[in-house]
Amino acid sequence: MKCLIVGNGDIKDDKWLSAKAKDFRPDFIIAADGGYNRLKNAGMTPDLLIGDFDSIGEIPENCQFEISKYPKEKDFTDIELAIEFALAKGCESICLAGATGSRLDHSIANILLLRKLLKSSIEAKIIDEHHEIFLVKRRKSLYNRNGSLLSLLPLDPIVSGICLRGFKYPLENATLEMGDTRGISNVSISDDCEISAESGILLAIIADKTL
């Protein structure tokens, strides 16, 4: 089961969100608090609205979807609440939109939530209008990415045995330590590319070709 979670982060183009949702084809859509407004503006309706409702504004009435309200003083973000619900529902693939933006703390927290999902063997990614963010453990194949920018950052103190295929700057059995910038701004030169690592976890960020 595939789940789309939409938060209150930056989404400037409503058509972008609806197009990405159409590509992802989710079985279940969760609005995390103000993410409901993002979905509404895109002409979409969630299956669930969840959160403390401090950013949604007016709570919808007489709606045809489930609403789950939490207190404002809690130990987790609305995005994490949505993720926990998706996991409990048995979702195996999760796409997060509206998860990055002007709140750097929330953006970083959401990126780190990808690691929590990886531990649960969930395929997960964060998308915004300029980036796709995901984690790589062992191996990841990319398709139709010719000309895209790729940056890799180690999420463990040491990530070793890194190999890159189909990129301008290939790597063979390389090692990246946390804080290294060697993995920034690579470029794919093939439609089919591959990232692999023998140990450790890599944070992968694919950026628009124009950036």
Question: Any idea where the domains of the chain sit in the sequence?
Answer: 2-129, 136-207
Cα separation of 63 and 52, whole Å?
18
**Average per-residue pLDDT in the chain?**
94
CATH number of 2-129: 3.40.50.10240
The fold adopted by the segment(s) 136-207 is Jelly Rolls (2.60.120)
Look at strands 66-69 and 48-51 and give their pairing: parallel
Query: pTM score, two decimals?
Result: 0.93
Task: Give the pLDDT band (50/70/90) at residue 108.
Answer: very high
Task: Give the DSSP H/E element, type plus range, for residue 5.
Answer: strand 2-6
60 DSSP 8-state letter: P
- Domain pair 2-129 / 136-207, same fold: no
According to the model, what pLDDT value does residue 210 have?
Answer: 53
Task: Give the DSSP H/E element, type plus range, for residue 141.
Answer: strand 139-143
According to the model, what pLDDT value does residue 31 have?
Answer: 98
Other beta carbons less than 10 A from residue 183's beta carbon: 23
Mean pLDDT calculated for residue range 157-169: 97
